[in-house]
Structure formats: structure tokens, C-alpha cells
Amino acid sequence: MQPFVLPEFYLSYPARLNPHLDGARKHSKAWAYSMDMIDVPQHGTVIWDEHDLDSHDYALLCSYTHPDAAPRELDLVTDWYVWVFYFDDHFLELFKRTGDIEHARSYLDRIGLFMPAEGEITETPENPVERGLTDLWNRTVPHRSPGWRRRFRESTRNLLDESLWELANINESRIANPIEYVAMRRKVGGAPWSANLIEHSLDAEVPDEIAAKRPMEVLRDCFADAVHLRNDLFSYQREVEDEGELSNSVLVFEKFLGCTTQEAADAVNDLLTSRLHQFEHTAVTEVPALFEENGVEPVGRAETFAYVKGLQDWQSGGHEWHLRSSRYMNEGALDSRGGPELLGGPTGLGTSAARIFRSVATTAPQRARSFSHQPFEQLGPVTLPALPLPFPLRLNPHLAAEHEKLTDWPQLTGILSEPIWDERRLRATDIPLAAAGICPDATPEQLSLTSDWLTWGTYADDYYPEVFAHDLPAAKLTTERLKLFMPTDGSPPPPPLTALETGLADLWQRTTASMTPAERKTFRRTVEDMTGAWVWELANQAQNRIPDPIDYVEMRRQAFGSDMVASICRLATSRTVPPEVQRNRTIEALEDSAADYSWLVNDLFSYRKEIEYEGELHNAVLVVRSFLDVDQDRALRIVADLAEARLAEFRHAADVGLPGLFADYNLDAEAQDALTEYANVLKNMMTGIVNWHHECARYTDEELARVGVRGTRPQPEPSSPAENPLLHPDCTGTPPPPPEAALLPRRYGPTGLGTASLHLPAH
């Protein structure tokens, strides 16, 4: 008996079948035999027999997912899929069922030897997985560009290595939280790897200059998430009930939401639908602009469109294969859904179109909710769930001194001369309190630098929607100009024209004076990500579109400044911690969970401010309300539960992950101390942010009523030249060029990278 009824899937693109299916079936069986994958015991266990291979029918999968591939490329792609599924089952039998994590590490390390970034494979394969990879690598990689090879090697490596994450969770009986699961499933699930093979099979590579840009990454991630969520629905019975697997989104939702298996399956399908909607939205609204912004040549545009079409083909074809493969829970699925059979029964365009029409109609209410929110919704007083401090609070002893000069830097940079903030609003926000909690051990100079970064980021976050609400082009131009004030080669920036530019020029000089050019580039990228995320928010506002949940989580980290925090901390430890450790899963878990906990807390406190007083769409409570179609109280509780889950993940990474990392990399005492201190810095960040939200007046009903609704707020009088020497004589509020090497008083002079600490803007 199946544990739930398969939901109505969103299918907007017809599945097509490659005419060379029969040849691929014959070739792939012969190839699997030649690699000893069929009927050859591995450590006493036969992984597959011929019936297993025939009933799984990977040639059918590839013929559906690569309908336009030539015979030779279809054979090659099919062999890759035979290999990857064999690896999955081989790893299951040898390590997941036994819990043998130590030998699993050695096994995966050896596989990496058969994927050289450059040159030939020199190692001798010892099992079917290694033999298959050797053959496939040599048949594929020489024909591709260096950029493609780099991406494919990384996605293949992720697919293999993150199997350890699944195994560790099984050994600990640990079920991931939804945010953690989606991020890790992308790596272990292999869909980014499949996207690389789409490029290869079509001989259509995405140009290197746009491959890492947001629209292409969103397309890839939406594709990956949809593939994995669909697979989880079909494989729940086999994975959870037979294999004891814990890495399945239906199980994750079931445990996190406290709902039935059927309700969890429906929620997973809603998320799958949302990701496909996001894919379509990005392809239509963001990719064409990406071409223009980067001057992509016609050939590159054509190959990119072919790649996007290939991703669509894979989605539709992968669904058809899941309906037919014996590997999955699909009993009666073809009958109940009326899908076209491979042999016999109606297979024409009419039946496919009918299925597409039904799926679009069924999911239309979900799409409509994303565009139908009424801005400035009247909420009234909001009762928040309890949000205690996550760790013991320590406040910097120099807080009182920082409070005394609260208005100095905003006045000198012109922030208080522009019609966004007045002094009362600045004092209600009480940014020094946040800095003091985030940096309890900072020197007075370090604390001032942190407080000034927080002031700049918080002010800019208010400035963008206030000034550019109806002028997206102006926001993009402003964002481009801000880059001029973050030179990485030490060259002088142009004269600043606004308070934003004046403040950023000063902060950049003080923060990066002692950085190398490479460190400046890394740090600058995090600031660019943050400002770019503010533009993304404005684009959604212009469309009155509530973001897709996953896209929101990933962009919210940037909009909140979380990536900038991680970058500063990485740079601060780069001299003692090996680079490969910085990219380790445990470090990513620490950074991402701490960042997510922080902005989730912010979204809870700022919910009424943003939704009722500012007409915003970018708040986790609203996103959850729209996605799950639940009431406000339920959405508040879910967001609070998600914050608690991310905090629990942080604790797990710190208490379990770090000691394991020390042992895996045989780190010396200095490196261990650096990573332990890094975890403590993140603890201070989370605690300081929660304390600030509790204590400051920025989100109180009284302050919200005083400031008023966005667009109707009273504007402060501009300062006179005598009051602020940074203003033009015409009192327009635009600062003139600062004097050479004397933008601000010396007490705000350069303090170096180590003093930057954490700079996190709040909404």
C-alpha cells in the first residue's frame, strides 16, 4: 500500500521521446556488463542483476530527458546515468546500510582521483564505479571548454561527497530542517550535474561571462530543486520505508510541520510547483536583460536558449520516466493521470496538451496568490512568538561612549540631511546597541567602525524602497555608482554625490586599508551582492510579486548582509585556516544557519512595520502565508519554528561538526582555535541581533505610528551649510567632493581588516 496519493503535478511543457531509444538500451546494457555492474558481487553483495537494469530503464530516462540528442551523445549520457544510479546503490549497500562512515570517506576520496581537473587519469580503477568513471571522463571532458570542465567536476564532486552528509544523518537519526535540506539536496541529488550534461548533449554551453550570474544560477537551482522534489515524492516509499533514508523532503516537511504524510506530500508538490513558476519567471524576465547587460554575442544567446529549453525537456521527460520506472512508487499513476503510454493507448498531442491544461489550471490559485497581495495590509498589533536569547549576552564596555557620539557620523556623511531619517529615528534604531552585542570585545575604534557599517547598511536599506519605489532604472544606476567607491587596486574613487556614496567611501577606506587586492575583491563582492539584492526586491515590488520561498531565503541572506559577514570572517581567518576547510560543509552550515536565524528573527520583529507601514512583500511571514495559504498566527509560528530549527542546526555544526572537521583534516591547535573563535563570533552575532530587536524602539507600535506609512511620512528640514559643511551652499542635501585624504575626522581613520568585525544591516 502506498503511503500517500501522488499529487497533481505542474507540467507546462510536453514530454518528447528521443527516436534512438532502442539503440541506447542495447548500448547501455553492454556497457554496464563491461564495467562489471551486472551480476558481479561487490564485497559479497550483488548490487544489480540484469532485471534491475532493465526495469529501471535508464535509457528511457535519457531518451525522455534528452529528446534531441544524437545517437552517440544519447549513448554517452545514458552511460553517465547508469553510472550515477549504480554509484547510489553501490554506496547504499556498502556504507549506508552498514553505517560505515570511515570507509565511506576513503571510498569517496579515491573516486576523486578519476576526475582530474587537468591531464590524464593515472590511477588504476578497482571497482565498477571507478572503472565506469574512468571511461566516461575520458569520453566526455576532452570535448568541452575549461569553464564547463570546472563546473562539471565541481557538480560531480558534490554529488559524491555529500553522500557523507546523508550517511551522517542516518547514523545520528537526524532529520534536516527544510532550508538545510534543500541546499544539501542540490549537491547530493545530482541535478546540477544533470544540467551540465544537458549542455554537453546539445553542444550548447552557457557563456562563461554569464554562467555565474544570478539568472543562470536561479535557473539551475530551480531546475535542481524541482527534479529533486519530484524524485522525493516518487521515491518516498523506497527510501523511507525500505532503506531507512532520512533525506527526503516529504519526511522533512512531515516532521517540521507536524502534519500527515499526505499533507507533507502536498506541501512538497506546492514547493515543486513554485520552483517551476520561478524558473519560468526568471527565463522570461531576467535572462533577456542579462544578455544585454553583459553584451552576449548571438551565438552565446542561442546556446543559452537551447540550454534553457533542454532544462524544460528534462523536467517533463524526467516526470514521464518516474511514472514508468520500477524504481519508484507509481502504481496506477499513469491510469489516474491519463498520461500517454510508451506502447499502446493514446499518445498524441491532444492527450499531452490536456494534461498540461489540467495541471496549469490546478496550480493557478498558487500562482495567483503570489501576485494578488494588497500592499499596506492593515494588521493591527501583532503578538510574536517567544524569541529568547540564543546564547549568553555580552555587551561591549564602550557602548556608552558610542551612544554619546551616535549622531556624529550620520551628520558628517549627510545621512541626517537627506529626507529619509531624522535624529529621532536614528536614536530609536539604536544601532550602537546592535554593534555592542555583535562585537563585545571590540576596541573603541573597532566598535565605531562596526556601528558605522550597520548605520550605513540600515539607512541604505530604508533609502532604496523610499527613493526608488517607482524608478527601478535609477536604482540600478545608483547601485552601479556605488561600486566606484570600492576600488580594489587602491585607486582614488570619484567625488561622492550623496550620503550613501560619502558613507561608503569612508567605510571602504577604513575597512580595506590593510587588505590585499584579492581580499578587497572578495569583500567588495559581498557588498555588491547586498546592494544587488535590494534591486531584486525593488523588481519584485514593481511586479507586486511575493517571492518564491527558496529564492526568498537565498536572496534574503544577501539583502540582510549575511554574505558580507561571512566574507569578513573568512578573510579574518584565512591566514591560519587552510582554504579547503573554509569551503567545508561544516563551515557553510555554521555561516548559513547563523545568517538565516538572524534574518528570520528580523522578519518576525519587522513584520508589521514592513507589511502594514511600508507596503513590503519581502518578509518571511508573508511568504509563508502565501505559499502555505495559512493564517497569520500559523505563519508566525512556522517562521519562529524555522528560526529555532536553524539555531539547532548551528549548535549541531558547532558541537558535532567542528570536532569532526578537526579530526578529518588533522588540524593543529592554532587552526582549531581559529575555527572555535569563529563559531563564537557567530554566536555573538546572533545573540546581539536578538537582544537589539528586543531593546530598540525601531519596531514598536509607537515608533511605527510616529514615522507613519511610507509615502506619507513628514520629511525633515535639510540642514544648513553652517550646520553641515558637507552640503552644497544651495542646501539641496547633496554633499560636495570631500577634501583630499580628509573625508572624515582622523578618529575614524583606517583600522584594518581585523577591526572590521561584523557589519550587518537590518530591515
Q: What is the pLDDT of residue 720?
A: 42
Three-state secondary-structure class, residue 41? strand
CA gap 663, 685 in Å, rounded? 27
Q: What is the pLDDT of residue 214?
A: 93
Cα distances (angstroms) measured from residue 31 to each of 53, 54, 152, 473, 609? 12, 13, 22, 55, 62
Q: What is the pLDDT of residue 717?
A: 45
Q: What is the pLDDT of residue 605?
A: 98
Under 8 Å between Cβ of 689 and 602:
yes
Three-state secondary-structure class, residue 262? helix
Three-state secondary-structure class, residue 755? helix
- Report pTM: 0.87
Closest CA to 234 of 339, 321, 176, 119: 321
Under 8 Å between Cβ of 458 and 450:
no
CA gap 562, 595 in Å, rounded? 5
Beta bridge partners of 640: none
Q: What is the pLDDT of residue 696?
A: 97
Listed as ranges, residues in the chain with pLDDT below 50 are: 337-351, 569, 571-573, 715-761
Q: What is the 3-state secondary structure (H, E, C) of 549-616?
A: HHHHHHHHHHHHCHHHHHHHHHHHHCCCCCHHHHCCHHHHHHHHHHHHHHHHHHHHHCHHHHHHHCCC
Closest CA to 620 of 156, 637, 612: 637
* Residue 45, H or E segment: strand 45-46
Q: Are strands 41-42 and 45-46 parallel, antiparallel or unpaired?
A: antiparallel
Closest CA to 53 of 94, 14, 82, 26: 82
Cα diameter, the chain: 88
CA gap 306, 89 in Å, rounded? 32
Q: What is the pLDDT of residue 741?
A: 33
DSSP 362-373: HHHHHHHHHH--
DSSP 629-674: T--HHHHHHHHHHHHHHHHHHHHHIIIIIHHHHHHHHT--HHHHHH
